[in-house]
């Protein structure tokens, strides 16, 4: 059996919830967000024998030279494989037919799957998943 954690449900939640609608006439407001627990981190304790694949969106510090995720990326979730892609880079991602993807094993270095079409990356990713 496999568990593919393909999307973050919600990374943040409001620190406080208003009991009433916030009136527009009150003007600007500030919103404090707290990080939420990661669903993927709860899978392994519940299903120790499952083959766990996590997907991770990376916020690159340098959009002109994206760097791979650190090797320890799979450790927190105890994933058998993490597939990580940068977001916010020109020419790849949400508004492009291409993307850039790294495969991160639980031990060892991230493997660049390259920058190519999303369809090709999906096939490469699935090949790795099938080998788990």
**Residue 25: inside a domain, yes or no?**
no
Q: What is the DSSP letter of 33?
A: E
CATH number of the domain enclosing 126: 3.40.50.10300
| pLDDT tens, position by position, 21-39 | 999 999 999 999 999 988 8
Domains of the chain: total: 1
CB of 99 closer than 8 Å to CB of 118: yes
Average pLDDT over residues 88-102: 87
Of 86 and 118, which is predicted with more confidence?
A: 118
Return the minimum-mean-pLDDT range out of 16-25, 30-39, 49-58, 86-95: 86-95
Structural element, H or E, at residue 131? none
Is the torsion defined by CA of 22, 24, 26, 30 positive or negative? positive
User: pTM here?
Assistant: 0.82
**Angstrom distance (rounded) from CA 6 to CA 4:** 6
**Residue 76: inside a domain, yes or no?**
yes
* Domain ranges, residue 88: 2-9+37-130
**Residue 50: inside a domain, yes or no?**
yes
In this predicted structure, the answer to whether residue 68 has a pLDDT above a threshold of 90 is no
pLDDT at res. 47: 97
């Amino acid at each position: 059996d496999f568990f593919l954690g393909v999307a973050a449900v919600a990374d943040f939640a409001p620190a406080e919830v208003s009991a009433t609608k916030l009136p527009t006439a009150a003007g600007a407001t500030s919103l404090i967000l707290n990080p939420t627990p990661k669903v993927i981190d709860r899978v392994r304790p519940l299903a120790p024998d499952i083959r766990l694949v996590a997907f991770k969106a990376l916020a690159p510090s340098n959009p002109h030279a994206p760097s791979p995720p650190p090797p320890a990326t799979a450790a927190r979730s105890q994933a058998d494989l993490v597939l990580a892609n940068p977001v916010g880079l020109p020419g790849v991602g949400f508004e492009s037919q291409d993307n850039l993807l790294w495969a991160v094993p639980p031990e060892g270095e991230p493997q660049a799957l390259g920058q190519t079409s999303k369809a090709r990356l999906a096939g490469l990713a699935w090949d790795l998943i099938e080998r788990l």
